[in-house]
Amino acid sequence: MKSSFLARLPAPPQNLVLLVVLLNLFVAVQAAKFSVNGPVLTVTLKDPDTGVAPTGPFGEATVAEAFAAASARPRSTKSSASSTRKWIDLATLRPNLYWSVQSNSPPLPNWFPSWTSMRANVGYQYEELKTLPSFVEGDLKFRSERLNTELQIRPSYEFKAKRSNMVLQVSKGAAFLMAKFSVNHNKARGGINDAMERDDPDLEGIPAVNAASSSLELLKASYDIQFPAGSQVRNLRITPSLDVVKQEPSCVFESTTGGSGRSKVILKLNYDNPTLGVVHALDERNTIAPEISLYNAKIIYKWKVNLNAAGTSSIQTRVDPLSAIDVTWTDTSAADGGRWVTDFRLPLAGTTIQALASDVRVRRQFNF
């Protein structure tokens, strides 16, 4: 019964891995039209255990951006406990790989001239899946010169969550309209899910009919209003959005001052925590960004210092007077193009010495 049951299960999306391999061969042939970034390997040399497990991508960010954010989060206590029983364990290094291919010119100028660019991203996290990538993401851009409009299509697939995403965005100048859809392949009719794959005698004979659940997750738009030259305000950008899943609307107002344009005021009318912030460039190297919550008057201070002209080496500081001080030092002075990333966290809340102890996390990124 078990073998016949497993035979009816849908096959894993191995064709996506094959697609990535074929794309790599295509890039090798069309080297003049494409540029390759990576693979970029990041390992964690020191990571204090805070018991926070990485989470998947949410909201409007691309899967690649959420992958980078998840790589910076501390690992869970479960992996830490198991790694202490081994002399060398990859779980302690938390390796992750990132690889991307981008077109340098229109991929098919003769057959499809409106197709302006394409990009493919592949990410791998050892903690999530040992033998499969964490995600595969594409980015296709099309442009109509007659309408002065650009269409962007971003499909992606998350292997662990068995989730497909599709982001559609139509832009005209600085204004755009975006919608995000998702299909969850991990759901099934009758409340039967991945537990059916286990050897459970009570589930024998039950038909394994999976039903993908699709939904509209996010709607977002943006419109930019330009003011005449010489005005105190250079522009006003209005960005409303609706989280369809949570049924939470929000709107962001951004205004840049005239003249040098070094200051920007950001009003975020979020559903649960509206905030008002100011981003001001003191000079070419220093930028401050205080932010106050309109809900509970909590103030967050941010300060960024660029250590080189390109801005690739920097020190970013975030101060929450009621929680902690977070400092991230990024150094790209390595000869191979890699970088060192050091995270320092000093808790400000707590009454015990252990609660107030600082955490230091060191990561090394290699570019091949």
Choose the final residue of a domain: 198, 221, 244.
221
Exposed e or buried b for every residue in 300-317, given b needs 16+ CB within 10 A? bebbbebbeeeeebbbbb
Say yes or no: 209 and 277 in one domain: no
Do 291 and 142 lie in a common domain? Answer: no
User: What pLDDT does residue 305 have?
Assistant: 94
Output the pLDDT for position 38.
Answer: 72
Does 262 reside within a domain? no
Q: Are residues 46 and 189 in the same domain?
A: yes
Q: Which residue has the higher pLDDT, 272 or 72?
A: 272
* Statement: residue 216 has pLDDT above 70: yes
CA distance 187 to 210: 7
Q: What sign does the CA torsion over 145, 149, 150, 151 have?
A: negative
Q: How confident is the model at residue 60 (pLDDT cuts 50, 70, 90)?
A: very low
Q: Is residue 358 part of a domain?
A: yes
Domain count, the chain: 2
Euclidean distance between CA atoms 51 and 55, whole angstroms: 12
Instruction: Give CA–CA dist 283/69, Å, rounded.
Output: 28
69 shares its domain with 194: yes
In a domain, residue 246? The reply is no
Cβ atoms of residues 329 and 360 within 8 Å: no
Does 240 map to a domain? no
Q: Are residues 190 and 67 in the same domain?
A: yes
Task: Tell whether the model's pLDDT for residue 277 goes beyond 90.
Answer: yes
Could you give the CA distance from residue 223 to residue 175 in angstroms, rounded to a whole number?
A: 4
Q: Are 51 and 76 in contact (CB under 8 A)?
A: yes
SS3 49: coil
| Of 129-138, 170-179, 186-195, 344-353, the least confident | 186-195
- pLDDT band at 353; cut points 50, 70, 90: low
3-state secondary structure of 30: coil
Q: What is the pLDDT of residue 15?
A: 55
Q: Are residues 280 and 361 in the same domain?
A: yes
- 9-18, 272-281, 297-306, 313-322: which has the minimum mean pLDDT? 9-18
Residues 164 and 47 in one domain: yes
Length of the chain equals 368
Position 73 scores a pLDDT of 47
DSSP 8-state code for residue 74: P
Tell me, yes or no, whether 281 and 157 share the same domain.
no
143 touches 152 (CB < 8 A): no
Same domain, 70 and 180: yes
Residue 226 lies in a domain: no
- With 70 as the cut, is the pLDDT of residue 103 above it? yes
Dist. CA 298–CA 295, nearest whole Å: 8
* Bridge partners, 314 (sequence order): 306, 330
Q: Are residues 112 and 17 in the same domain?
A: yes
Alpha-carbon distance 34 to 24, whole Å? 10
Q: Which of 179, 206, 221 is the last residue of a domain?
A: 221
Q: Which of 160, 189, 221 is the last residue of a domain?
A: 221
- Number of neighbouring beta carbons within 10 Å of residue 361: 19
Q: Is residue 233 part of a domain?
A: no
Neighbouring CB atoms inside 10 A of 159's CB total 20
Question: In this structure, what token pair is assigned to residue 335?
Answer: 């000869």
Q: How high does pLDDT run on average in the chain?
A: 75
Task: Tell me how far apart the alpha carbons of residues 287 and 307 are, in angstroms, rounded to a whole number.
Answer: 12
- Is there a contact between 27 and 107 (Cβ–Cβ < 8 Å)? no
Domain that residue 324 falls in: 273-368
Query: Is 268 within the bounds of a domain?
Result: no
- The reported pTM is 0.68
| Per-residue confidence (pLDDT) for residue 179, from 0 to 100 | 95
| φ, ψ of residue 289 in degrees (nearest 5) | -150, 80
146 shares a domain with 7: yes
Burial environment of residue 15 by CB neighbours within 10 A (0 to 12, 13 to 18, 19 or more): exposed
Can you give the pLDDT at residue 226? 87
Q: In the chain, pLDDT over 70 holds for what percent of residues?
A: 67
Question: What integer pLDDT is reported at residue 172 of this predicted model?
Answer: 92
C-alpha–C-alpha distance, residues 279 and 287, integer Å:
7
Closest of 325, 328, 331, 297 to residue 312, by C-alpha: 331
Q: How far apart are CA 273 and CA 365, in angstroms?
A: 35
Instruction: Name the nearest CA neighbour of 157 among 129, 133, 193, 131.
Output: 133
Q: According to the model, what pLDDT value does residue 360 have?
A: 84
Gap between the Cα atoms of 48 and 33, Å rounded: 43
The answer to whether residues 81 and 211 belong to one domain is yes
Q: Is 238 domain-assigned?
A: no
